[in-house]
Amino acid sequence: MITIYDIAKLTGFSPTTVSKVFNDYADVSPKTRRKILEAAEQLGYLPNAHARSLTTKRSWTIGVLFNEPSGAGILHPYFAGVIEGFKKVSTSRGYDLMFISKDIGGKKSSYLEHCKIRGVDGVVVILPDFTDPYFLELLESSIPCVLLDQESVTKSTVCSDNMAGSIMAVEHLYSLGHRLIAHIGGGNTFAGKKRLQGYLHAMEELRLSVNPEHVVQGSYDYTVESGRLAMEELLQASERPTAVFAAGDNLAVGAMMAVKSHGLSVPGDISIIGFDDIEMVKFLTPSLTTIRQDTYALGNKAADMLIYTIEGGDEVQSDMIPVQLVIRESCRSL
């Protein structure tokens, strides 16, 4: 069995210093803390959770609250990547994860009640829903929270640079000679609104007129089917666009299906670019040009922010993770 004395021997620090790290004392430098935690991971050391809880007055558990409007949203690779990045940092710092719901043992309760019953130290909220009174109750409580894909002046937030990504997408299509550029939006979501803003900003900067028929909203849960229906609408426009920027890869996949069902080709007749870079799109025919989000970095940053607050930090933080254009086969020059 690995003990703190084994870690002390490996790192050269005293057993007292090693113990302070696992009991979360503040008088240990970040560099020392990192070396001891890395050594513990290397040796496979597992601190006694009950003893730590008694000493630190924490449960060493973080809640994950995911608003799942369609019942299947959690399956989207974007969220899987975010949660994996969040888990990596959290577990390396000694925290376990627990999904938060309004249903405990078949009995309905609020998010806040669930958090109190389970004794979580903090909550990361993916897709915050400000129309949900149960979410607002949690947000107004003293429980530390970090929000993904949202803006807030009271809680720390992290998101991708959605506007910059949209601008990259439109500028790429413009560089290929496209001037009739349409947009399939992501509905009334934070990311959807930011990506629409980026599209409109880029069109204005490039002095391209926006045909109202060329802006169609997909669903707020970014499904393939809503992308297909949106593309069907675009194909009925009085002037057919030569290129489409979809606010999500699933929307883009649906758009590609609609184009092909009309006997048209991508990119021969219509170029399509997405947003996300989920794993499947590189295997499509043609493979999808898209804007890549760094989901792992989003999760990492959210965990850092939340643990900072749990451990006494009082600064409300905000960060935006850069995105990247990934050029594949679904766009062509005119």
Q: The CATH number of the domain where 15 resides is what?
A: 1.10.260.40
User: What is the average pLDDT value for the chain, to the nearest integer?
Assistant: 88
Residues 182 and 139 in one domain: no
pLDDT of residue 71: 44
Residue that is last in its domain, among 56, 72, 96: 56
Confidence band (pLDDT; 50, 70, 90) for 106? low
In a domain, 273, yes or no: yes
The pTM of the full predicted model, rounded to 2 decimals, is: 0.79
Shared domain for 234 and 278, answered yes or no, is yes
How would residue 70 be classed by pLDDT, with cut points 50, 70 and 90? Answer: very low
Contact 274, 252 (CB under 8 A): yes
- The span from the CA of 25 to the CA of 311, in Å, is 10
Has residue 152 been placed in a domain? yes
Same structural domain for residues 89 and 36? no
The β-bridge relationship of strands 243-246 and 107-108 is unpaired
- The reported pLDDT for the residue numbered 123 is 95
Q: Is 97 within the bounds of a domain? A: yes
Question: ∠267-187-145 over CA atoms, to 5°?
Answer: 120
Q: What are phi and psi of 119, to 5 degrees?
A: 70, 35
Tokens of 212: 């109202």
CATH number where 317 lies:
3.40.50.2300
Same domain, 228 and 319: no
Same domain, 212 and 286: yes
Give burial (CB, 10 Å; 0-12/13-18/19+) of 128: buried
Give the confidence band of 274 by pLDDT, cuts at 50, 70, 90.
Answer: very high
Q: Is 329 inside a domain boundary? A: no
Count Cα atoms within 13 angstroms, Cβ side, for 103: 1
Domain that holds residue 141: 61-160+295-323
Residue 333 covered by a domain: no
CA pair distance 290, 292, nearest whole angstrom: 6
Q: Among residues 56, 81, 98, which one ends one of the domains?
A: 56
Q: For residues 178 and 125, state if they share a domain.
A: no
pLDDT single digits (tens) 281-296: 999 999 999 999 999 9
C-alpha 257: how far from chain center: 26
Per-range mean pLDDT, top range of 25-39, 101-115, 257-271 = 257-271
Neighbours of 285 (CB within 10 A): 10
Q: What pLDDT, on a 0 to 100 scale, did the predictor assign at position 104?
A: 55
Mean pLDDT of the 208-231 span: 93
> What is the per-residue pLDDT for 72?
44
Which pair of structure tokens corresponds to residue 128? 């915050």
Q: Residues of the chain with pLDDT > 70: what percent? A: 90
pLDDT in tens, 289-324: 999 999 999 999 999 999 999 988 989 999 999 999
Residue at 330 is within a domain: no
**Are 200 and 318 within one domain?**
no
| pLDDT of amino acid 52 | 53
Encode pLDDT of 41-52 as tens digits.
888 776 655 455
Q: Could you tell me what percent of the chain has a pLDDT over 90?
A: 59
In the predicted model, is pLDDT for residue 68 greater than 60? no
pLDDT, one tens digit per residue, over 122-155 is 999 987 777 888 888 998 998 999 999 988 889 9
pLDDT score recorded for residue 129:
77
Q: Taking the C-alpha atoms of 47, 53, 54 and 55 in order, what is their torsion angle to the nearest 10 degrees?
A: 70
Q: Is the pLDDT of residue 236 over 80?
A: yes
Name every residue whose Cβ is closer than 8 Å to that of residue 58 and which is 6 or more positions away in sequence: 24, 52, 121, 310
- The span from the CA of 220 to the CA of 187, in Å, is 4
Whether residue 156 sits in one domain with residue 106: yes
Within a domain: 44: yes
Q: How far apart are CA 264 and CA 259, in angstroms?
A: 5
Contact 243, 173 (CB under 8 A): yes
pLDDT of residue 69: 52
Same domain (yes/no): 287, 209:
yes
- Cβ atoms of 155 and 148 within 8 Å: the answer is no
**Sign of the four-CA dihedral 230, 233, 235, 238:** negative
Residue 328 falls inside a structural domain: no
Give the number of other Cβ atoms within 10 Å of residue 312's Cβ.
9
- Residue 275 bridge partners (DSSP): 291
| Helix, coil or strand: residue 258 | helix
Which residue carries 């560089």 as its tokens? 175
Domain count, the chain: 3
Using CA atoms, how far residue 124 sits from 57, 120, 277, in Å, is 20, 11, 23
Indicate the burial class of 129 (C-beta count within 10 angstroms; 0-12, 13-18, 19 or more): middle
Do residues 305 and 238 share a domain?
no
Q: Do residues 194 and 156 share a domain? A: no
Same domain, yes or no: 271 and 257? yes
- pLDDT of res. 54: 47
